[in-house]
């Protein structure tokens, strides 16, 4: 988080916040409130401390809500007290993080609610904003879903292009086993499905099936492997896919298409006696 915050501050403030420097005396003190302006699932709160610590000039930050909390319009998420210039310089960056990450958490919470009561869990994907993956995956987890692999380094997911490059399902699986890492393989035809099962695959990815088609494939798998369904998965149909018998459903929209949630920052000056030299 610290490096991401440093880069974000450098990008936004650069050589200095010329507006705040021009308009606001250096010694002036203020306090501010972060407010939810709609129903949302909150994420990104721990970044506030990193932002203010990096810039300095803040005496007190109080988190009244935390990642994963459900908020409604008007809820105060956090309060902050310090130099007015610091609060102004950090306002947009703090809101950008809160709005983006709360959007991911809120989208994730809708998917989690959709499959509630089934034996299926929702997975996130690698379809994240470059450089922000860990933050977005933390936000997705705050929304109540399960994190899939972090990147290309911590688990094997053999997809159609890997199968083509390896020369088929069997050689792909046999070569991958040498890594000792968890293996999941995408199968697109019944022939590939049967070959993968014959090779002992224990985690299958089925893509772009209807719920009825998925249920038919899952009946053939008959518990011999865990099943993840992806493609065409939306909040509206996630439950139908879960009830088809899937162990997991995944959707890239949780991260790549999450809407920024509406949060705002309200600043008020402290009495003139509360100044810094």
Catalytic residue status for 207:
yes
If we measure between CA atoms, which residue out of 99, 181, 98, 111 comes closest to residue 141? 111
Catalytic residue among 33, 37, 133, 159: 159
Catalytic residue status for 159:
yes
Catalytic residue among 186, 192, 228, 247: 186
* Residue 171, number of CB atoms within 10 A of its CB: 13
Q: If you ran DSSP here, which 8-state letter would residue 27 be given?
A: T
CB 1 within 8 A of CB 48: no
CB 79 within 8 A of CB 30: no
Rg of the chain in Å (alpha carbons): 24
- What does the block give as tokens for 200? 């002992």
Catalytic residue among 46, 59, 113, 207: 207
**Could you give the CA distance from residue 59 to residue 9 in angstroms, rounded to a whole number?**
19
* Residue 105, number of CB atoms within 10 A of its CB: 30
Catalytic residue among 33, 65, 70, 127: 127
Catalytic residue status for 137:
no
Catalytic residue status for 92:
yes
Catalytic residue status for 202:
no
Catalytic residue among 2, 92, 219, 259: 92
Q: Where in the sequence numbering do the catalytic residues fall?
A: 92, 127, 159, 186, 207
């Amino acid at each position: 988080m610290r490096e991401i915050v440093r880069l974000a501050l450098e990008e936004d403030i650069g050589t200095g916040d010329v507006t705040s420097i021009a308009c606001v005396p250096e010694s002036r003190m203020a306090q501010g409130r972060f407010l939810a302006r709609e129903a949302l699932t909150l994420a990104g709160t721990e970044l506030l401390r990193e932002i203010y610590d990096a810039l300095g000039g803040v005496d007190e930050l109080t988190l009244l809500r935390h990642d994963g909390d459900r908020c409604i319009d008007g809820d105060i998420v956090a309060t902050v007290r310090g130099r007015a210039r610091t609060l102004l310089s950090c306002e947009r960056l703090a809101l950008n993080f809160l709005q983006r990450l709360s959007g991911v958490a809120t989208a994730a919470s809708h998917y989690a609610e959709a499959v509630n009561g089934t034996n299926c869990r929702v997975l996130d994907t690698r379809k994240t904003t470059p450089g922000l993956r860990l933050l977005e995956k933390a936000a997705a987890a705050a929304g109540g879903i399960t994190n899939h692999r972090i990147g290309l380094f911590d688990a094997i997911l053999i997809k159609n292009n890997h199968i083509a490059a390896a020369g088929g399902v069997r050689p792909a699986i046999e070569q991958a086993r040498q890594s000792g890492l968890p293996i999941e393989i995408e199968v697109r035809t019944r022939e590939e499905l049967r070959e993968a099962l014959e090779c002992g695959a224990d985690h299958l990815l089925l893509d772009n099936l209807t719920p009825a088609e998925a249920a038919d494939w899952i009946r053939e798998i008959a518990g011999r492997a865990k099943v993840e369904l992806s493609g065409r998965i939306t909040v509206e149909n996630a439950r139908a896919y879960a009830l088809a018998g899937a162990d997991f459903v995944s959707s890239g929209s949780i991260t790549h298409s999450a809407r920024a949630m509406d949060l705002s920052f309200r600043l008020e000056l402290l009495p003139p006696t509360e100044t810094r030299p």
